[in-house]
Structures are given as structure tokens and as C-alpha cells.
């Protein structure tokens, strides 16, 4: 089955929103060193602001999902894009830890959560048939990867032309384009027509309660914690890893960009794979591949080629976990409150992200390197590969149409 024109417009709009928001967020790590030089706050304090951003992005998404489920996606996404711009553009003017936490960690990250995957995937999921949701979610997820691939090098280029303050302001302004795109994603989930109902429509509170009592949902949520730890540590501290290896900053920019580029292929592949194999098996394979990639990186000499090779391999799995995770939430508990339930899963992801970003800075200041973070990465990757195996993919919900 192919998407019709209206479905393609909705998918493309969601992918572009995610590209803009995710690209802006991922490029912020390039400015950690200039921020440190300008403020003298230290890597640990700046890492705390980025860690709070990871947590805030997660905290926002269940509430943003609930707002979208009740009032519609368009308004929530548009406001999110505006907040990302506001927080990013004002960041160069912050000169204390609490101001960095407010702008990076609350305003920009909260806006990114409002225009995040939970709301976007829900808007797309309403527009396409169930058998096409895996492919559609893969396309949207690939949009975020393309944003990272495109925006990070632009940010590095603008830094050489405008200076870091002008570059960060210009990059932040890109997120404003999410506001007009949100018009294509307007609308909210509708309950089944009264004549088709065999039982009262489940409330949002009941849906959340049922999900939290489901062991498979808990396994899935716990595994996504590990994904957040990996992604946040790499996104925040890969420039620092490059610098500690005495390589030029361009290596960090191109590595982050290549992670985004190859995750496009990973996202499409994951979206295709979950239409053919069990989603839990795809997730286990992705996490195991991450662990093996980090082991190989640790064993290799730290050269430009090894960073590029690591970026290519890790990029293929970077956000490829999203389509099977969204697919499992929808399969287990239905589409009606997908934005809310996936927002809860994303909260777990971002708690992991908080620890990945914050502990990276703390351990660097304590030990002078990132070695222990890489060891934690490996152990968590293999733990996540195992925790998905007991998931049962049988649906837990009963649709009104099926009941009728």
C-alpha cells in the first residue's frame, strides 16, 4: 500500500519539524567549549544545563502528548518551535549556571518536547493505516537524523563566519519554521462514533494506569532509558572526546553529522524491519549492535578515521530504536492515547539522557577522561538487548470497532 498525497504532506511536515528541532538541539554541543571560555563556569556546570535539558525534554512530552490528545497537535508543535528559538537565541547572553539551566534546560528543551516525537508520531499515526505506521514512523525519525546531518555542519561553518554567538543565534532561529509546518499537523484523536461503541470509551487516566500495570510496557520503557543514556552522552560529549584525543573540532562536527546521516538509513531500515519481524527482536539487535560498536571503538586507535568509522556504525542504530518502540506502544495499547503513552516512554529515555549528559561531565572532571562512561555504555547496551526479550507483543486493548 502506498501513501496518498495528503498522507505524504503530513509525514513530510512531521519529518521537517523533527529535522529542525532535533538539528538545533544536536548542534548545541558544538558551543560547549565557547560557552565555557566565555562564562568560566566549568564543563561540569555546563553539562548540568545540558543534562537538565535531556530531563526536561522527557518531562514535557507526556504533558505535551496529553495536550495534543485533548486539544490538537498543531498548537502544541507551533508553541514548541517558538520556545526552542527563544531559548537558543538567548543562551549566549547567559552568564551563570542557573541562567543556562533556564534557557537550555527549561525553555529550549521544553519547546523541543512540545514538538517532540510523541506528538509528531501521534499526528502521523492518525493519518496512515496500521500496516503503514512502521514505515511512516521511520520516515519521521529519519527527518531528525537529516536535521542533525544538515544543521551541525552549518553551525560549524557559521561559527567561522559569524562567531559562536551569531552562529548559535542563527541556528536557533531555524526552529521558527516549525510553526507554519504545524498547521499541516493540526487535529486531535477522535473517539469512535457512538453507534460503534460496545463499551464506554477508555479515559486517558485508565489508559495510563493499564499501561503502567503491563510488564511488557515497563520492559520497553526501561530499555528506552538506555537509549537516552547513549544518545545524550554521545551528543553532548563527543566534541569533548575528540578534543581529549587532540584532534581538530571539525572531526567532532563531521562525526555528529555522519551519525545523523547514517541514522537516516537506520531509521528506514528499522521501519521496514518491524513490518517483517517482531519489534522486540529488532530492538534487541539494535542495542547489542551498539554495545559491539563501542567495544570496537575503544579498542581502535583514536584517529580521525576511527571517529568517522564509529560515527557511521553508531549512527545506523542511533535513533533507529524509535520506530519499533513507537510501534510496540501502539500495538500494545492502541492509537487513542499514543502521544501520552509514548510521552511516558520518552520520559524514561530522557532520564537516561540526563544521566548520560551529566555523568559525562562529572566523570571527566574527576578522572580527566571518558573511559568509565564508555564502559557503562557497553554494559547498559547489552542489558537493554536482554530486557526486551520477555516482551509479549499481544495487544492489551480492545478497540470499539472490534468490540462491536
The domain total for the chain is: 1
The pLDDT, as a whole number, for residue 188 is 58
The set of residues, in sequence order, having a beta carbon less than 8 Å from that of 368 and lying 6+ positions away, is none
pLDDT tens figures, 371-404: 999 999 999 999 999 999 999 888 876 544 344 3
Domain containing residue 62: 8-184+202-403
Is 193 within the bounds of a domain? no
The pLDDT, as a whole number, for residue 48 is 86
* Calpha distance 111→85 (Å, rounded): 9
Is 26 within the bounds of a domain? yes
Is 330 within the bounds of a domain? yes
Is 194 within the bounds of a domain? no
CATH number at residue 24: 1.20.1250.20
The x, y and z cell numbers of residue 278, run together, are: 517482531
The set of residues, in sequence order, having a beta carbon less than 8 Å from that of 357 and lying 6+ positions away, is 47, 50, 51, 53, 54, 232, 233, 235, 236, 237
- The radius of gyration computed from the CA coordinates of the chain, to the nearest angstrom, equals 20
pTM value surpassing 0.95 = no
pLDDT tens figures, 325-354: 988 988 888 877 777 888 888 889 888 988
* Calpha distance 241→369 (Å, rounded): 8
The pLDDT, as a whole number, for residue 192 is 37
In angstroms, the Cα distances linking 170 to 38, 122, 293 are 19, 30, 34
Is 138 within the bounds of a domain? yes
The pLDDT, as a whole number, for residue 150 is 84
Is 305 within the bounds of a domain? yes
Is 191 within the bounds of a domain? no
The tens place of each residue's pLDDT in the chain, 404 residues long, gives: 577 788 888 888 999 998 998 889 888 888 888 888 888 888 888 888 888 887 888 788 778 877 887 777 888 899 999 999 999 999 998 888 899 999 998 999 999 888 877 788 778 877 888 777 777 877 887 787 788 788 888 888 898 898 999 999 999 999 888 888 888 887 655 543 343 333 345 677 888 888 899 999 999 999 999 999 988 899 888 888 998 898 988 898 888 888 888 888 887 888 788 878 899 999 999 999 999 999 999 999 999 999 999 999 998 888 788 888 988 988 888 877 777 888 888 889 888 988 988 888 888 888 888 899 999 999 999 999 999 999 988 887 654 434 43
* Calpha distance 311→250 (Å, rounded): 13
Q: Specify the length of the chain in residues.
A: 404
The pLDDT, as a whole number, for residue 377 is 92
Is 195 within the bounds of a domain? no
Taking the alpha carbons of 328, 404, 205, 115 in that order, is the dihedral positive or negative? positive
The pLDDT, as a whole number, for residue 198 is 34
Amino acid at each position: 500500500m502506498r501513501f496518498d498525497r495528503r498522507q505524504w504532506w503530513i509525514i513530510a511536515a512531521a519529518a521537517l519539524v523533527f529535522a529542525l528541532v532535533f538539528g538545533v538541539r544536536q548542534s548545541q554541543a558544538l558551543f560547549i567549549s565557547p560557552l565555557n571560555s566565555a562564562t568560566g563556569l566549568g564543563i561540569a556546570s555546563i553539562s548540568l544545563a545540558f543534562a537538565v535539558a535531556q530531563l526536561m525534554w522527557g518531562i514535557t512530552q507526556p504533558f505535551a502528548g496529553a495536550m495534543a490528545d485533548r486539544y490538537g497537535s498543531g498548537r502544541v508543535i507551533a508553541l514548541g518551535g517558538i520556545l526552542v528559538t527563544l531559548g537558543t537565541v538567548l543562551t549566549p547572553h547567559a552568564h551563570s549556571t542557573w541562567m543556562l539551566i533556564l534557557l537550555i534546560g527549561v525553555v529550549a528543551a521544553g519547546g523541543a518536547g512540545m514538538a517532540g516525537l510523541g506528538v509528531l508520531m501521534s499526528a502521523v499515526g492518525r493519518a496512515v493505516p496500521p500496516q503503514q505506521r512502521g514505515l511512516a514512523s521511520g520516515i519521521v525519525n529519519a527527518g531528525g537524523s537529516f536535521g542533525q546531518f544538515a544543521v551541525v555542519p552549518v553551525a560549524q561553518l557559521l561559527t567561522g563566519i559569524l562567531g559562536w554567538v551569531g552562529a548559535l543565534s542563527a541556528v536557533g532561529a531555524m526552529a521558527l519554521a516549525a510553526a507554519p509546518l504545524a498547521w499541516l499537523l493540526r487535529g486531535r484523536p477522535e473517539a469512535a462514533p457512538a453507534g460503534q461503541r460496545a463499551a464506554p470509551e477508555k479515559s486517558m487516566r485508565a489508559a495510563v494506569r493499564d499501561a503502567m500495570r503491563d510488564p511488557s510496557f515497563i520492559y520497553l520503557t526501561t530499555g528506552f532509558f538506555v537509549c537516552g543514556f547513549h544518545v545524550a552522552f554521545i551528543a553532548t560529549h563527543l566534541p569533548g572526546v575528540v578534543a581529549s584525543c587532540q584532534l581538530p573540532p571539525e572531526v567532532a562536527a563531521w562525526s555528529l553529522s555522519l551519525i545523523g546521516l547514517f541514522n537516516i538509513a537506520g531509521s528506514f531500515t528499522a521501519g521496514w524491519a518491524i513490518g517483517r519481524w517482531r519489534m522486540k527482536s529488532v530492538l534487541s539487535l539494535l542495542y547489542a549492535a551498539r554495545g559491539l560498536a563501542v567495544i570496537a571503538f575503544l579498542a581502535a586507535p583514536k584517529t580521525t578515521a576511527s571517529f568517522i568509522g564509529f560515527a557511521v556504525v553508531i549512527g545506523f542504530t542511533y535513533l533507529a530504536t524509535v520506530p519499533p518502540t513507537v510501534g510496540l506502544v501502539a500495538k500494545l495499547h492502541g492509537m487513542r492515547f499514543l502521544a501520552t503513552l509514548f510521552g511516558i516512554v520518552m520520559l524514561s529515555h530522557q532520564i537516561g539522557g540526563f544521566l548520560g549528559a551529566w555523568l559525562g561531565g562529572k566523570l571527566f572532571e574527576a578522572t580527566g577522561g571518558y573511559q568509565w562512561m564508555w564502559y557503562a555504555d557497553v554494559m547498559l547496551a547489552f542489558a537493554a538487548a536482554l530486557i526486551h526479550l520477555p516482551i509479549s507483543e499481544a495487544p492489551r486493548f480492545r478497540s470499539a470497532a472490534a468490540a462491536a
